[in-house]
Chain A
Amino acid sequence: MWKRKDLLGIKELSADEINQILDQAVPMKDIIKRDIKKVPTLRGKSVINLFYEPSTRTRTSFELAGKYLSADTVNIAVSTSSVVKGETLIDTGKTIDVMGADIVVIRHQASGAPHLLAKHIKAKVINAGDGAHEHPTQALLDLFTIKEAKGAFEGLTVTILGDILHSRVARSNIWGLSKLGAKVRVAGPSTLMPPGIKEWGVEVYHRVEEALEGADVVNVLRLQLERQQKGLFPTIREYARQWGLNARRVALAKPGALVLHPGPMNRGVEISPDVADGLQSLITEQVTNGVAVRMAILYLMSGGGVADVPR
């Protein structure tokens, strides 16, 4: 049984809890593959997607996950332009709460916003990405994808490549992979590395070739191109040359190593098109798995147990 009210981050989850979600995602993926992708499991439940940052991908994934399980899903896109001073997060949350929401999925540019919301509302809260803090459902779908392909995590070496400093995907992946027994390497320029990251039990590399040597999985992070204007690295061109994942670099990893990317990609910057579309890439599979994992999470958080897995 799932015991938590909210899913705010991977850091506070146990390996058991992570595995519970990953296991539950297996039958969910079967549903997606069916011709008629609908089970009545969450009929009468409402899921609100409260998005303060535009993200078509994650929002659609959550929306479909809810719909496949027959939940009523509503999307709220909040304009975050600082010119229009809107309602506070707490007020918005309370409004949604009294309308009878069961689960609120929140994406917010401020780290900790889901925690603030969760403290003030009765509905369950799922963090769909908060600032540079965590993106638990992305990490869970990455873990699911790795598990599907590799079977287990013990003995695996996973290299996370790119802008670690600003990446919530990196943080959630680091916690999740470490808890499940994989070895984690992070690689990127020192100006895009968080302070004290060595204390997180990861290996830090500044040369991409070394970071890839012998890796079983490479998870390439999306580069926010505007970081260049802040002086964090000299040019996009140099970034692509120094840190971009290309076929020559993939060849340094273990044969059959997996390539992941949370999307959307900057082709030709952090990842070359041939690698993105290559045989080792599981990037499109990640998208499918994203829906399955989110179905599993919605299901577990709504009180579903392993015993009554919908078949």
Chain B
Amino acid sequence: MFLVKGGMLIDPAAGIKAVRDILLQDGRVVEIGEHLEIPEGAEVYDATGKLVTPGLIDVHVHLREPGLEAKETIASGTRAAAMGGFTAVCCMPNTNPVTDSLALVEAVQSIVRRDGAVRVFPIGSITKGSAGQELAEIGDMAQAGVRAVSDDGKPVSRAEIMRLALEYAKMFGVTVISHCEEQSLAGDGVMHYGPMSAMLGLKGIPAAAEEVMVARDIILAEASGARLHIAHISAKGSLELVRAAKARGVKVSCEVTPHHLSLSDEAVSGYSTSTKVNPPLRSLEHITALRQGLADGTIDCIATDHAPHTLEEKAVEFAAAPFGLVGLETAVPLILDMVRNNELDIERAVAALSSNPARIFGLPGGTLRPGSPADLTVIDPDLELVLKPEDLKSQGKNSPFLGMALIGFPVLTMVEGKVVMRDRNLLVD
């Protein structure tokens, strides 16, 4: 038995924002109440002054295993997740080989059983090898528990393939996650197209590259009635398309990353390759729109797009570096920053980090109602830490926030009743 005592419980799905005690046993939530009695033999965690939330869920993570273990492994990536307060992550299929079949999904699942510190839900690919030509075995993968498919990083360029994927995935209740990027517009761009890219002499990726494909995929999703999820939305126009589509009843959802909410293309000015991400860090008008979209509920989820790379891969010229930054261990303080600035309700933040991902992708957790899985996160909203590379549990140190003081970190991560991180220490070997 485990009792989390005196914390401010934020459970948007249950409509609770109040100081509550939470009793957990055998991997389930048993009881929620004010001043619960401490049962004999129960371990007590004093959460006074802290936030208690349903376990955070990150639906967009690159764990890199199998095949790219120099960047990250399921072991290191899930430990980073635990440090970041995430009790579950969905891992993208752009590994080597690409997760495009039942056997490969099961391979990932077996590594997770051996090495995983938190829950991992593999995302399958949309097309074989994410090559954009033939559909992957979506039905078989769905039977192994895959809830979503994506060719993340390699946008499905042929509209007909996307149409077929939506039609096909719908039969199995699988959501299609689209990394929207029209490649003839994106070209070999490396940052947001605008005055900053012009000044730095770097090739730009226009917002239109994303917006054009968001429009296409919404139209296709509407026609098929399938479930579409837009990954890492970054452009103002994309958001307006999603907002209008939702109003029409299209089954579309979307996610935003903490870095697209907190950094603008100005961050690229020193040519630091940890600011090179895809989609690129946008200009202020896009950031303002994204913050608004998250606050008004147009954006459903916050997902990190955690994309670790080796130091060597990133220690090159900006144009030559791979896209991506590590986000699992900095998501919570970055989002709490918006809460502190009164730009975002805490309930909305927790919904986007937990209950919405659980609902959209049919994952366990997302609430602490009695009977729910004992997946829980405790956050100290005042804990201030200066981010140092050696403190990151991810193998990837490609964070643009290194050296910065961030405020508000998870201090307890519990997965199915098991404490995997406590007071900033991992409790898994």
Interface residues of A (CB under 8 A from B): 11, 88-90, 108, 110-113, 115-116, 130-134, 165, 168, 171, 194-197, 199-200
A-chain residues with CB within 8 Å of residue B316 when the two chains form the complex: 88-90, 116
Q: Are A196 and B198 in contact (CB under 8 A)?
A: yes
**Bound CA span A108–B319, Å:** 12
A-chain residues with CB within 8 Å of residue B202 when the two chains form the complex: 111-112, 131-133
Q: Are A88 and B270 in contact (CB under 8 A)?
A: no
Assuming the contacts A115-B271, A116-B271, asked whether A194 and B198 have C-beta atoms less than 8 A apart, the reply is: yes
Q: Are A111 and B198 in contact (CB under 8 A)?
A: no
Q: Are A112 and B200 in contact (CB under 8 A)?
A: yes
**Bound CA span A90–B320, Å:** 13
A-chain residues with CB within 8 Å of residue B253 when the two chains form the complex: none
A-chain residues with CB within 8 Å of residue B15 when the two chains form the complex: none
Q: Are B271 and A131 in contact (CB under 8 A)?
A: no
Given contacts A110-B319, A197-B198, 18 further A-B contacts (CB under 8 A): A11-B199, A111-B202, A111-B318, A111-B319, A115-B270, A130-B201, A131-B202, A132-B201, A132-B202, A133-B200, A171-B201, A194-B197, A195-B193, A195-B197, A195-B198, A196-B194, A197-B195, A200-B195
B315 within 8 A of A: yes
B-chain residues with CB within 8 Å of residue A88 when the two chains form the complex: 312, 315-316
**Bound CA span A90–B321, Å:** 13
Least CB distance from A82 to B in Å reads 10
Least CB distance from A169 to B in Å reads 11
A-chain residues with CB within 8 Å of residue B195 when the two chains form the complex: 194-197, 199-200
Q: Are B194 and A112 in contact (CB under 8 A)?
A: no
Assuming the contacts A115-B270, A116-B271, asked whether A131 and B198 have C-beta atoms less than 8 A apart, the reply is: no
Residues of chain B from 194 to 223 with CB closer than 8 A to chain A in the complex: 194-195, 197-202, 204
**Bound CA span A194–B198, Å:** 5
19 A-B residue pairs with Cβ-Cβ distance under 8 Å, sorted by A, are A88-B315, A108-B317, A110-B317, A110-B318, A111-B202, A111-B318, A132-B202, A133-B201, A171-B199, A194-B195, A194-B198, A195-B193, A195-B195, A195-B197, A195-B198, A196-B194, A196-B198, A197-B195, A200-B195
Least CB distance from A24 to B in Å reads 27
Interface residues of B (CB under 8 A from A): 193-195, 197-202, 204, 270-271, 312, 315-320
**Bound CA span A142–B204, Å:** 28
B-chain residues with CB within 8 Å of residue A108 when the two chains form the complex: 317
**Bound CA span A130–B317, Å:** 11
Which partner residue on chain A sits nearest B312 by CB separation?
A88
**Bound CA span A168–B198, Å:** 10
Which partner residue on chain B sits nearest A134 by CB separation?
B201
Q: Are B317 and A195 in contact (CB under 8 A)?
A: no
Which partner residue on chain A sits nearest B315 by CB separation?
A90
A-chain residues with CB within 8 Å of residue B271 when the two chains form the complex: 111-112, 115-116
A-chain residues with CB within 8 Å of residue B318 when the two chains form the complex: 110-112, 116
Q: Are B317 and A89 in contact (CB under 8 A)?
A: yes
Least CB distance from B235 to A in Å reads 14
Assuming the contacts A131-B202, A195-B204, asked whether A112 and B197 have C-beta atoms less than 8 A apart, the reply is: no
**Bound CA span A197–B198, Å:** 8
A-chain residues with CB within 8 Å of residue B317 when the two chains form the complex: 89, 108, 110, 112-113, 116
**Bound CA span A181–B72, Å:** 52
5 closest A-B pairs (Cβ-Cβ)?
A196-B195, A133-B201, A194-B198, A112-B271, A132-B201
**Bound CA span A116–B315, Å:** 8
Least CB distance from B323 to A in Å reads 16
B-chain residues with CB within 8 Å of residue A165 when the two chains form the complex: 198
- Which of A110, A115, A194, A196 is the one whose CB lies under 8 Å from B320? A110
